[in-house]
Structure 1
Amino acid sequence: MKEKKQWMCFRKQVWIQLSVITIFILFGLDCAFRSSGDLRLYESYIPHENQTAAIKQGKVRVTFLGTTSILLDDGETQILTDGFFTRPSLWKTAFSKIESDQGIILSVLQKAKINHLKGIFVCHSHYDHVMDAPFVAKITNAKLYGSSSTINVGIGSGLNKENMELFQLGKPVKLGKFSVTVLESKHTPPFRILGKTNATDPNFPNISSPLSQPVKALDYIEGGTFDFLIQHGKNKILIKSSTNYVTGAFDKINVDVLFLGIAQYSLQPLSFQETYYNQTVKKLKPRLVIPIHWDNFFLPLAKPLEPNLRLGDDFDSNMNLLLQRTSKDQIQVLLLQGFESIDLF
């Protein structure tokens, strides 16, 4: 009888301990998969505009389409970075193969009025940048510009070779009144989530053969990261998709508007944070900074954008760091919602 009581007591203690551990695990997972920020804290930085009037001659309008998908339009010519619209769920991305949803792509093209697109420039060849680009190019008959990895994604998607062009660093590409110069850059420093890393395997640095969907997200290899210097008349724009820098790359460049990648900005060492700001915002001297790559791209673009998950980012800290520094330098910051359009100049 005594042994039976001891056994029952032991089982009860084990059950309590397992219950506590389970609660802690579930609580931790719940926190990890929550948004890493509250957009209501930044209402004063969100213009809440949706320009629908015809674009006046000489003006340039931008429409933000989530992650690093940026549409520039002067009323005659449109250019786009990335064009990642499908945005498969976290669970599908993590545990199965993914592919472009042409229905979603068509709906975004229609809603954003992408009807005179001439060029798509892909920042790098991870899936959240390149996956949909070939299909956007097919539908719109725009030319796809990218690295050899991006070109192989295009070939695997059945895009005609005449509709693709390999990046030529430093050589301006003329599209209407736009001039786009591709600059070599660096990807956000490697990180690990749920045991998986985004670091490039040095033995497989590029997508070396045509990549046909559906495939696993990890099959999309970075293949080099690039920034885009865009000139329209006297005005200049710099699009920097990744939170990293090449020392001295912007020593001789000033711009009016900087689209700045802020993903994982605050998770980097303090020395990196300071240098990143100094090598981008300080050097470029923009009058306006627009943060990009801040939203949770596992959620549909059709819904209002939400900040990245706590699992791999800290949106509030990223924004606070940026706002502290830009406030001292008297630089305006605007945070755009999905499909939000403003006239840049």
Structure 2
Amino acid sequence: MIQYLKNNRLQALFRGFLFGTFALMSLHCAFRPSGDLKGYESYFPHENPNTSIQKGKIRVTFLGTTSILLDDGETQVLTDGFFTRPSLWKTAFTKIESDPVILTSVLEKAKINRLKGIFVCHSHYDHAMDAPFVAKYTKSKLYGSNSTINVGLGAGLDKENMEEFQVGKPIKLGKFTITVLESKHTPPFRILGKTNATDPNFPNITTPLVPPVKALEYIEGGTFDFFIQHGKNKIVIKSSTNFVKGAYEKIKADVLFLGIAQLSLQPKPFQEEYFEETIQKLNPKLIIPIHWDNFFKPLNKPLEPNLKLGDDFDANMQELLKRTSKDQIQVQLLQGFESLDLF
């Protein structure tokens, strides 16, 4: 009997060891990048222009996630401006807030010195958290939904430095004209028991959000795309992998910044319609994928694809390249702080 109990105990210990090893291996895989950028080297320009911007040209600098800096040499326009990028541990288990040291270093490195407007795609922390502080440091104006305005108020930004944008109403900044378009957030997902789905009882941030706060307190508050005109040149910035049917019915774009996060995880009919409502309707010459990088990693290190825990960068890119190759549309990836002259 004693020997039998010993054997049972040993077997239980061994099973526990195997289960623990398997769990650790699974976690290790889940927290690895969901793709290898070496396989996409030909899609990176790796030729940062350092000359002054010629008249009529527009230079884009990618600053991770959906932070896109557009510059015509006179006026700069920025989307989101999420630069702090707290770690996964901090985001999951602590309250988070903007880091002034990181923000000022990014502003200096990216030469953000003539910024006139920051346009926030939606009010989740990886889009809206840093925007008020960037506006404050650069003396520029913050544009967003009512939820984003409450993020700004909580951060101490003056009301005169913010404006709640309206869908369809153009905003002119220098030679840029920005029109806000209604959109949708990437379909909800669940990771480690938590979901990013909007609670229908609390769809917006209704009072000033004073940091530090938990990441989940940054409620979506509506999602928006931006149609940007500069002379004859037209740009669309789509931050989230979703669409409003017919939203692009009457517009075309030369360049499309396309959100690809979790694209391949969606059902095939969704993918088909997503491409139809974006690429097919806009008919761009160039597509630059965005929201593909792991925003828990700092911006001062080379960007890596999103974690396997919640995405599949390789599959996302393969789906995109399959669609664009048919129509001979150019696809270009940008590393952090990498710039490209669009026109």
Q: Look up the match of 2:124.
A: 126
Which of residues 40, 43, 46 in structure 2 aligns to 1:42? 40
Counterpart mapping for 1:5-154 below 5 A: 5-154=3-152
**Partner Cα distance (2:224, 2:85) in 1:** 21
> 1:4, CA displacement in angstroms?
1.3
Q: Deviations over 1:238-291 (max 9, x none)?
A: 000000011111111111000000000000000000100010000000000000
* Equivalent pairs, count: 343
**Partner Cα distance (1:147, 1:168) in 2:** 8
Which of residues 285, 303, 306 in structure 1 aligns to 2:304? 306
> 1:169, CA displacement in angstroms?
1.1
**Partner Cα distance (1:305, 1:41) in 2:** 14
**Partner Cα distance (2:172, 2:251) in 1:** 19
> 1:33, CA displacement in angstroms?
0.3
Q: 1:183 is paired with a residue of what secondary structure?
A: strand
Instruction: State, as a whole percentage, how many aligned pairs show the same letter.
Output: 74
Q: 2:17 is paired with a residue of what secondary structure?
A: helix
Counterpart mapping for 1:285-296 below 5 A: 285-296=283-294
Q: Provide TM-score, normalisation by structure 1.
A: 0.99
**Partner Cα distance (1:302, 1:186) in 2:** 30
**Partner Cα distance (1:95, 1:224) in 2:** 25
> 1:306, CA displacement in angstroms?
0.1
**Partner Cα distance (1:132, 1:50) in 2:** 25
**Partner Cα distance (2:279, 2:65) in 1:** 20
> 1:49, CA displacement in angstroms?
2.0
Q: 2:19 is paired with a residue of what secondary structure?
A: helix
Counterpart mapping for 1:318-333 below 5 A: 318-333=316-331
Structure 2 counterpart of 1:243, one-letter code: T
> 1:168, CA displacement in angstroms?
1.3
Which of residues 215, 224, 231 in structure 2 aligns to 1:233? 231
Moved beyond 4 Å, runs of 4+? none
Consecutive unaligned residues in structure 2, runs of 5 or more: none
> 1:160, CA displacement in angstroms?
0.4
Q: Look up the match of 1:297.
A: 295
Which of residues 269, 272, 287 in structure 1 aligns to 2:270? 272
Consecutive unaligned residues in structure 1, runs of 5 or more: none
Q: Provide TM-score, normalisation by structure 2.
A: 1.00
> 1:47, CA displacement in angstroms?
0.6
Q: Deviations over 1:44-81 (max 9, x none)?
A: 10111211110000100000000000000000000000
Structure 2 counterpart of 1:305, one-letter code: L
> 1:298, CA displacement in angstroms?
0.1
Q: Look up the match of 1:245.
A: 243
Which of residues 151, 168, 171 in structure 1 aligns to 2:169? 171
